[in-house]
Structure 1
Amino acid sequence: MRRHVAEFPDARVVLNMRSGSWALKLPFLQEVVGHSLRSIYLVRDPRAWIYLMLYNSKPSLYSLKNIPQHLSLIFKDDAVREGCPSVAPEFKTIQSVLSRSEANPALVLAHLWLAHTAAVLRVNEGLPEESYLQVRFEDVVNFPQETAETIHTFLGVPLSPAALNQLLFTTSTNLYNLMYEGDISPTNINMWRQNMPRKDIRLIEDVCGGVMKRLGYTRLAS
């Protein structure tokens, strides 16, 4: 990759996101690609994400995706490879949660969100400010124009009227949907507030509260 970028300085690196956890690999990509790298990390309120995983469909995505089994595979071969641990330290707590005979799905997912998000924040804190932008999904939906302007300024790409109109249309008409989630609108992305059991909300906030605060998410008033 280094040789290719050196030979073709105008090349643009395209990643296969299906390989997983690319947000944890950004320091490596920064080293390979150099100062031209521009990374956007999209975060989501853990309560909204966990609501989507547990309550937005029947059977739940948690069951369909067999989340506990996939997480267990992370620790199956937890060896140190060439001096590098195969699992980020933030994920160790999940192993303890999964060891319980009947792990609470909301608790498992809360620790998963916390582990991944905390790990991403840790490994990327040293990235140059001009190469890394953190964006909340909720801001894309609630403040599409301001967020789009921020993203395009960061990328150094003009925001065309057509692109802005498409985004405004997408986030305001209930005519666009994401896989598994359904229609995208300021109301729909907050369905967890009305439909999620309060005990689950409190549990998620207790587990994820510290990182939520860093990202600008506040606890639900009692």
Structure 2
Amino acid sequence: MSRTGSLFVLLLLLLCTLLYIYQFDSARYLLKLSHKDKTLAKLSVSDVLSSLSSDNSFVATSSEVELDSFDNSLGDIAINTTKVEGPVQVIVLARMRTGSTLCGEIFNQNPELFFIFEPLHSFKVLQMSEDDSLEEESTDLLKKLYKCKFPRMFIQTLARWSIGKGKSRKILPICQETDGCAKATPSQFQRVCTKSGHVVTKTIRANVKMLKPLIKFHGINLKILHLMRDPRGTASSRRSYYTPKKRGGPEGVGKRSLHELGLLSTSQDSKKNTIPKLCAWMKETLKDALNKPTWLQDQYRLVRYEDLAEDPIRLSQHIYDFIGLELPPVVLKWIHNNTESDNSRSKHQFSTRKNSSRASTSWRGRLSLEEVLAVQDICGDVMASLGYKKLYTQEELENYSLPLVEPIKLDKDLMIM
């Protein structure tokens, strides 16, 4: 064979070898793609490619894939998805005085999670998300926080807001070491956050649509807990919040009605969190979720505060099952100690130490029948959708044996009950 012929054969062999390595590595990459089911599934490579091209439901590096056999024909793949790998991010989506502090503490008490209390506090004017630019800024901030990036603006807000830093077991130590966070740096936050991996936020200043870019365009595995409460209970709690306090006087002295406080106002210019605004938000966000957009599938669950308050340990277990993490004993202990208390009349606005079941129905002894009927008139449609029964007489209002929360018929993949 001539010298030219030998070189040609060598080049041909080298080309074949490189082609084989490329095909082999490509196949191995495909085998590392994750699957969302919790069972061991058999998929062909064509199935994987089809899923990748259709809806991006497979995400690399989120779970391990075990190879049963591999040959030139690329046979079946055994995918082990019994445990989701990688960080899971969570948001508790709620409104003011709906029990979100209690729900948030179920995560804050977990030492493995980086919990952030009201990260959008600096955007307080955002109520119904009518300001598109502000909504975009809020979404951008959430995106950064879920990636453990902390803008100085966020840290400066914490430095001025004692409740925000005091409600996070991960953030408080940082602030204690940095003059109340006045001297804290983004890198300090990032180190602690990255070590935890999983980030949880609780906010009363967002809506469902705001979260779409985080999931669809930024690749954040965001689990959404949509917390709802009977508007009558929220109305009672807001009345207490907005009523001017008389120092040294007994609780309830000088308490004004919902109407006197402007909480029943239909004006969009009101700076208060009114009941019409609340129920408009409930109706709109519930509609967004029940439409079942593809980007929201497997990422969303509705939670009623009354269900959580009635059986906090069982609901908390279901919540942790949904997000794919274990419910640690320290959280179970905290739930028991803070939801079985007789201190249902705590004077602290953001206290969670109370009998949760009793607190969820306390509005029946605090609102007048006139106020109840007014709230029902404003919120009747969304109340019906969520299983909250109306009442019409003083006798019904005072009859605590009369249940006002009914099961609702929603798909199991939409609600935690």
Residue 277 of structure 2 aligns to a residue in which SS?
Answer: helix
What corresponds to 1:201 in structure 2? 372
Residue 335 of structure 2 aligns to a residue in which SS?
Answer: helix
What does 1:1-80 correspond to in 2, within 5 Å? 10=86, 16-18=119-121, 19=123, 20=126, 21-24=205-208, 25-34=210-219, 36-55=221-240, 58-59=243-244
User: 2: distance between equivalents of 1:171 and 1:118?
Assistant: 29
Q: Which has the higher contact order (CA 8 A, sep 6+)?
A: 1
Q: Identity across aligned pairs (percent)?
A: 21
Relative distance call for 1:192 and 1:17 in structure 2 (3 A) is same
| Alpha-carbon shift at residue 184 of structure 1 (Å) | 2.7
Relative distance call for 1:32 and 1:62 in structure 2 (3 A) is farther
The equivalent position to 2:388 in structure 1, one of 211, 217, 220, is 217
Structure showing greater radius of gyration is 2
The equivalent position to 1:133 in structure 2, one of 280, 283, 301, is 301
Relative distance call for 1:11 and 1:153 in structure 2 (3 A) is closer
Which has the larger helix fraction? 1
What does 1:60-209 correspond to in 2, within 5 Å? 97-98=266-267, 109-124=274-289, 125=291, 126=293, 127-174=295-342, 179-180=348-349, 183-185=353-355, 186-209=357-380
| Alpha-carbon shift at residue 110 of structure 1 (Å) | 2.5
Relative distance call for 1:180 and 1:200 in structure 2 (3 A) is same
Deviations 1:39-96 (A, max 9, x none): 1111111111111111466417999xxx97xx9xxxxxxxxxxxxxxxxxxxxxx7xx
User: 2: distance between equivalents of 1:35 and 1:62?
Assistant: 45
Residue 222 of structure 2 aligns to a residue in which SS?
Answer: coil
| Alpha-carbon shift at residue 135 of structure 1 (Å) | 0.9
User: 1: distance between equivalents of 2:378 and 2:220?
Assistant: 36
What corresponds to 2:56 in structure 1? none
Aligned-residue CA RMSD (Å): 3.7
Amino acid in the other structure paired with 1:199: E
* TM, length-normalised to structure 1: 0.66
Q: Unaligned 5+ residue runs, structure 1?
A: 1-5, 72-93
User: 1: distance between equivalents of 2:331 and 2:364?
Assistant: 31
| Alpha-carbon shift at residue 207 of structure 1 (Å) | 1.5
Relative distance call for 1:181 and 1:203 in structure 2 (3 A) is farther
Relative distance call for 1:115 and 1:178 in structure 2 (3 A) is farther
User: 2: distance between equivalents of 1:190 and 1:137?
Assistant: 11
